[in-house]
Structure 1
Amino acid sequence: MAYTKASMIDAICEKVGLPKRESIDIVEQIFEMMKDSLEKGKNLKISGFGSFIVRDKRSRKGRNPQTGEAMEITARRVITFKPSQVLREALNEGFEE
């Protein structure tokens, strides 16, 4: 099951002891600031967590998988995430296949 925005709000209420309305405002404001930064093409680095990196992709030739028809895929921006070393180590701590 995914950890959702609602889950984050509930966790802030519990752990910090803030009222739900304040917790909602804080989470919404954080996501709004992150979104604004990324929309402006700025990378976002959260120490101990990772980096959201805005990359420009050039237009390229592709194919429609259903029809096989050749088509132009337009240039666009994408966001990639690179976890920090701290997060990678925590994720793999005690992990065995």
Structure 2
Amino acid sequence: MKVLPFYAVCGIVALVSVAVYPRSGSEASVCEFQPSSRFNPKLPASHVQNQCARDRDGVTEVSWLSWIAGKSPSFQFHFLDLLELLHDDDSK
């Protein structure tokens, strides 16, 4: 039973070190090394190059929560997305 307190202490130390570690500028440093800042439609939207292009262009994320709260200017688009998700065709 002496192993359990050891793992508990190691877990607490790991959580505290992650919480205390400074993260300022970590996302911006990745984008500084990207040669192209244009959105590339051949790459997935989650690719680093496209994420950096979105950050540089000032594109904001639109979430379902902002749509429900009425803070999204594209409410028609999200309504169609919601209908598509609710009435998904399983025969594909």
Question: TM-score when scaled to structure 1?
Answer: 0.30
Q: Whose strand fraction is larger, Structure 1's or Structure 2's?
A: 1
Decide which structure has greater helix share: 2
Larger radius of gyration: 2
